[in-house]
Amino acid sequence: AGGGRVVGLAHHRLDERAIPEGSILVTRHLEPQLAPVLAGLAGLVSETGSALSHLAILAREADLPTVVGVPDALRRFPPGTRLMIDGRTGEIDVLATDPAADQPVATP
């Protein structure tokens, strides 16, 4: 959906707690209520949506790396996973996972 390339830690918005600044937010849908948090994010990954959705357009205007249409993103990228995302190509690389998540660490 746009915005270049970034490395950061995945975060899921499961409740109303603040999203840590510099996180890559992994979400099921590109919800309009996420617009206020875009400024504090390093990147955005969504299971659904398109590059033409309102939130994707706002993210692109903010030059926020954004990848949309990623099947099972919430399951594939648990909180604490170190990701590299490229909004221009749609590429997502898992650089490392949180040991507490009990998943293997991927090598770049």
Burial class (CB in 10 A: 0-12, 13-18, 19+), 18: exposed
**At 81, phi and psi to the nearest 5?**
-70, 130
- Phi, psi angle pair for 83, to nearest 5°: -120, 150
Catalytic annotation present for 29: no
List the catalytic residues: 54
